[in-house]
Chains A and B, each alone.
Chain A
Amino acid sequence: MAFTPRIGVYICHCGINISASVDIEAVTAFAASLPAVIIARDYTYMCSDPGQALIKEDIEQLKLNRVVVASCSPRMHEPTFRAAVASAGLNPYCFEMANIREQCSWVHPGSEATTQKAMDLIASAVAKAAHLQPLITRQVEVSPSALVIGGGIAGLQAALDIAEAGFQVTLVERAEQPGGHAAQLHTTFPYMQPARELLRPLMERVDAHPRIEVMLSAEVEEIKGFVGNFEASVRQSEEMRTVSAGSIVIATGFEVFDAHIKKEFGYGLYPQVITTLDFELLSAQNLQVNGHSPRKVVFIQCVGSRDQSLGNPYCSRVCCMVAARQAKWVRQRLPEAEVTIFYMDVRAFGKGFEEFYDQVRTCGVIYRRGNPSEILRQGEHLLVRAEDTLLGEVVEVEADLVVLALGMVPRQDSAALASLLKLSRSADGFFMEAHPKLRPVDTSVAGVFLAGCCQGPKDIADSISQARGAAAAAMIPLLRGQVQVEAATAYVEEELCAGCGQCAQVCTYGALRLHPVRNVMTVNQVLCQGCGACASACPSGAVTVSHFTFTQTMAQLEVLLNGSNHQRKQELLPTASLMAK
């Protein structure tokens, strides 16, 4: 039986977002007149429950087999309407969207030409709809395991949570020991707990966990696959191993800023100048410098942070409290010592931080406002020169120990890891979350999540929070057991394929392989993202991407270029040139 399209067109007002500049009534009448259109309706909010109900009722009563919604962008509501038509028994790919908001009402003034453009967009969507084919969304089995890269406090916590939920976890740590930077800390702000006490129980639980395999001195060299079925090649000394994982948590942490770069502070030149990280070791050694107890200690905050000249414009978020903690330590251990902290701002935003800052000041730490400009030698001692901006005077503060409060910087190898996984990085160089507010543990790659300082500077509490968030998100596909794979993927018409391999070169997802025997291209449907790069690269036109077939696209173009009404394009032109001004 020949297929006869029966199309319903639904035009959305989007409140007044569309209706303010598009003549909805005219557009609806126009849509109703288009070939194969059985019904055209308009509604205030098509995405609302009553709006969706309209579509569903029509599908059932008017036996519609294709649906076009003219509203916002597919990114916004394609999933909504696909689900709506599916619930009325239609294949979700029998739905097409015409974007008459972002691409029309929002960017053009209310005019006849704008209405005409909406009509054109709808006509073209209807033309495509007549050629739409149902596609099968396939489910693939998920490997019930996770890969955690980086064994700092964030990675350890994420691994533990996922394993506790019943999944197998492989934790890959580059160093010989897990723990990351937390393992180098002496105590922690704001409660002055020894870092060991925080880290050790976590490490022991990870170590003893039957479902966690910790690979030390190991590194991930290659990652293939997609959410549900990643395959990582891990090198451990000379050996290579393949680890499969349903999802991945990145927890590779940070590096401390290299204080040598700030020449004016003489780190590496003056033995009395150390960093907050060096201080951690010194705390463990009872604060002895050359066998003496320092009597005048100066801390300098924001070293390597908030500095555009270094390309580090951001605040590192921990160093204020690190300096405060270490200053308090000095005051407690060496009550005779004078302790000064030079600061530009004191950022004590976390829970318990301001209270901690209160304690640190009242134990006798002197906070001086100013960003020291240089450190000079004076005999056995050093002089920290700064403008005290509260006095408006240049001051020279004598010191026999200067501690630079280091900021956090992205790991030098983060670019390499980013390209391994196709992750984005934000302007500061840290890995970028999918949305700064709404999706803070997700990346733009499905199934890959971020935990800890690899995403940006944070303290232990925040690293743990993010790790637990990332672990929970990473468990979603694992718990589901199956993931849907995109149905709009590429396929190769073998009779046309010359086996030239040009398409495989442009596929960034590694979805194309030349068949070793038949010498034609084959598509891995799980890996293919339907981006279409191959289809346009193929000189023989052998590659087609479903849902964006040649026939469908040409039908759309034809309507747009020739149209059913030639005058419309003429009228739209002045609007377009107006926009260009």
Chain B
Amino acid sequence: MLQIESRQFATTHNLFACIQCGKCTGGCPMAVKTTLNPRNLIYRLLVAGNGYDLEGREELWDCTTCATCSSRCPKLVNPMEAVIALRGAFVEKGRVHPNVKTALESTFRHGNPLSMPREERVRWASDLSIKPFGEGVEYLFFVGCTPSYDPRVQQVARSLVKLVQHANLDFGFLAEEESCCGSEIRRLGEAGLFEMIVEENQEMLKAMSVDKMFTTSPHCFNAFKNDYPQNGVQVEHYTQLLSRALENGWLKFSGRFEKTVTFHDPCYLGKHNGIYDEPRQVLTGIPGLKLVEMDRSREKSLCCEGGGGRMWLEGSNPGTRLARWRIQEALDTGAQVLATACPFCLLTLEEALKHQNAEDKLRVMDIAEIADQVL
């Protein structure tokens, strides 16, 4: 039994506004491969009277929080947030997958969900002479957990640092003091821990008098921009910063990148925040680069299945990973490089590429890495 007060829940989450049109489920990338059906879930909650038993609703953990549903709902219902809140009921009872438990505990203890020691957070940057953020520094570079620890994504962070240095922008980072933004924690349903993280980070940003910041990950960007209470800090994703730097002539490319590239819109940049143009502006600003689009791009972009805590969860249908379909879609365009701008997308897509044995035809790269090559 995992009983929730469905009437109250439906009211708080505006589920009564739902007209059961199915637009959410029709676009849900998981609904085509698992039993996740946001429309149906909402209906069951509505007609359940005052108690609904979540027992057995394991598909709630399939949601990637891609925001396809919430961005398309004609009645302003947010099925994604409802799913996140329902996960909370599992978390409250401690009924979560061991991986989730580990991620939550590690974030609580070490400030990252990856079970990595805090001291190692800066190892990737030891040779880069990045100054610590302090009074008067213009930008805070919020690196993020995966770029800090994951060897593959560290390369992205390094490239990004070179680009920003090249553009002569005044920035610093928090080094070991940086702690997880909490984005995935919130989406795993651990609202309490997330609240704690927000409080600590808010205090830190305030203490350091941060005015402007940029992030490697769209997930951190989204968390600071949309999940944190208004704090006056201007937060940008790095693609926004780079596109601006190009436009103003702060950043200039001297090399060429003679390749056909297609761009995978990360959900947390695109569907969550409507940022579709800036990453493309950076790509098309690279001499020699030819950008081609997949049919599913921008608002229609297919989720890579890495969000909403799914980096640590296989989901109920691990056999067919969305990232593999995505690789196929990229191959169909004839592109040589599949570019993205998100640590999770980079990892899931690269893994899928290996699985498809298509590494000779396609490479997965972060926009920062491509840009770094033509400095």
Please determine whether B16 and A364 come into contact, CB atoms closer than 8 angstroms. yes
Please determine whether B20 and A362 come into contact, CB atoms closer than 8 angstroms. no
Interface size class of chain B, counting residues whose CB lies under 8 Å from the partner chain: 10 to 19
Please determine whether A338 and B14 come into contact, CB atoms closer than 8 angstroms. no
- A-chain residues with CB within 8 Å of residue B44 when the two chains form the complex: 391
Task: Kindly report which residue of chain B lies nearest to residue A368, judged by CB atoms.
Answer: B47
Q: In the complex, A349 Cα to B44 Cα: how many Å? A: 27
Chain B contacts with A in 1-45, Cβ cutoff 8 A: 7, 11, 14, 16-20, 40, 43-44
Please determine whether B16 and A361 come into contact, CB atoms closer than 8 angstroms. yes
Please determine whether B17 and A391 come into contact, CB atoms closer than 8 angstroms. no
Please determine whether A338 and B17 come into contact, CB atoms closer than 8 angstroms. no
Please determine whether A361 and B17 come into contact, CB atoms closer than 8 angstroms. yes
In this assembly, does A358 line the interface, its C-beta being within 8 Å of a C-beta of chain B? yes
Q: In the complex, A368 Cα to B47 Cα: how many Å? A: 8
Please determine whether B47 and A358 come into contact, CB atoms closer than 8 angstroms. no
Please determine whether B47 and A388 come into contact, CB atoms closer than 8 angstroms. yes
Please determine whether A366 and B47 come into contact, CB atoms closer than 8 angstroms. yes
- Tell me the minimal C-beta distance from A58 to chain B in angstroms: 64
- B-chain residues with CB within 8 Å of residue A367 when the two chains form the complex: 19-20
Task: Kindly report which residue of chain B lies nearest to residue A338, judged by CB atoms.
Answer: B49
Question: Residue B11 contacts which of A338, A358, A364, A390 (CB distance < 8 angstroms)?
Answer: A364
In this assembly, does A365 line the interface, its C-beta being within 8 Å of a C-beta of chain B? yes
Task: Kindly report which residue of chain A lies nearest to residue B49, judged by CB atoms.
Answer: A338
Question: Residue A361 contacts which of B7, B19, B49 (CB distance < 8 angstroms)?
Answer: B19
Please determine whether B47 and A362 come into contact, CB atoms closer than 8 angstroms. no
Task: Kindly report which residue of chain A lies nearest to residue B11, judged by CB atoms.
Answer: A364
- B-chain residues with CB within 8 Å of residue A391 when the two chains form the complex: 40, 43-44, 47
Please determine whether B47 and A365 come into contact, CB atoms closer than 8 angstroms. no
Please determine whether A366 and B20 come into contact, CB atoms closer than 8 angstroms. no
Please determine whether A358 and B43 come into contact, CB atoms closer than 8 angstroms. no
- Tell me the minimal C-beta distance from B31 to chain A in angstroms: 15
Task: Kindly report which residue of chain B lies nearest to residue A365, judged by CB atoms.
Answer: B16
Q: In the complex, A346 Cα to B19 Cα: how many Å? A: 10
Interface size class of chain A, counting residues whose CB lies under 8 Å from the partner chain: 10 to 19
Chain A contacts with B in 351-385, Cβ cutoff 8 A: 358, 361-369
Q: In the complex, A391 Cα to B20 Cα: how many Å? A: 11
Q: In the complex, A363 Cα to B11 Cα: how many Å? A: 9
Question: Residue A362 contacts which of B16, B40, B43 (CB distance < 8 angstroms)?
Answer: B16
In this assembly, does B75 line the interface, its C-beta being within 8 Å of a C-beta of chain A? yes
Flag A56-83 by CB within 8 Å of B: 1 or 0 each.
Answer: 0000000000000000000000000000
Most chain A Cβ neighbours within 10 Å, of B7, B11, B40, B46? B46
Please determine whether A390 and B43 come into contact, CB atoms closer than 8 angstroms. yes
- A-chain residues with CB within 8 Å of residue B75 when the two chains form the complex: 358
Q: In the complex, A368 Cα to B7 Cα: how many Å? A: 15
Q: In the complex, A366 Cα to B11 Cα: how many Å? A: 11
- Tell me the minimal C-beta distance from A361 to chain B in angstroms: 5
Q: A338-B49, A358-B75, A388-B47 are in contact. Are A369 and B20 (CB under 8 A)?
A: yes
Flag A400-425 by CB within 8 Å of B: 1 or 0 each.
Answer: 00000000000000000000000000
Task: Kindly report which residue of chain A lies nearest to residue B20, judged by CB atoms.
Answer: A390
Please determine whether A362 and B46 come into contact, CB atoms closer than 8 angstroms. no
Q: In the complex, A365 Cα to B7 Cα: how many Å? A: 11
- Tell me the minimal C-beta distance from B12 to chain A in angstroms: 12
Task: Kindly report which residue of chain A lies nearest to residue B50, judged by CB atoms.
Answer: A338
Question: Residue B17 contacts which of A340, A362, A369, A395 (CB distance < 8 angstroms)?
Answer: A362
Q: In the complex, A346 Cα to B11 Cα: how many Å? A: 21
- A-chain residues with CB within 8 Å of residue B20 when the two chains form the complex: 367, 369, 390
Most chain B Cβ neighbours within 10 Å, of A358, A365, A366, A369? A366
Q: In the complex, A567 Cα to B342 Cα: how many Å? A: 89
- B-chain residues with CB within 8 Å of residue A358 when the two chains form the complex: 17, 75
User: Top 9 nearest A-B pairs by Cβ distance?
Assistant: A361-B16, A362-B16, A362-B17, A390-B43, A366-B46, A390-B20, A364-B16, A361-B17, A366-B47
A residues with a Cβ closer than 8 A to B are 338, 340, 346, 358, 361-369, 388, 390-391, 395
B residues with a Cβ closer than 8 A to A are 7, 11, 14, 16-20, 40, 43-44, 46-47, 49, 75
**18 contacts across the A-B interface (CB closer than 8 A):** A346-B19, A358-B17, A358-B75, A361-B16, A361-B19, A362-B16, A362-B17, A364-B11, A366-B46, A366-B47, A367-B20, A368-B47, A369-B20, A390-B20, A390-B43, A391-B40, A391-B43, A391-B44
- New A-B pairs, 5, CB < 8 Å, besides A361-B16, A362-B16, A365-B16: A362-B14, A362-B17, A363-B16, A388-B47, A391-B47
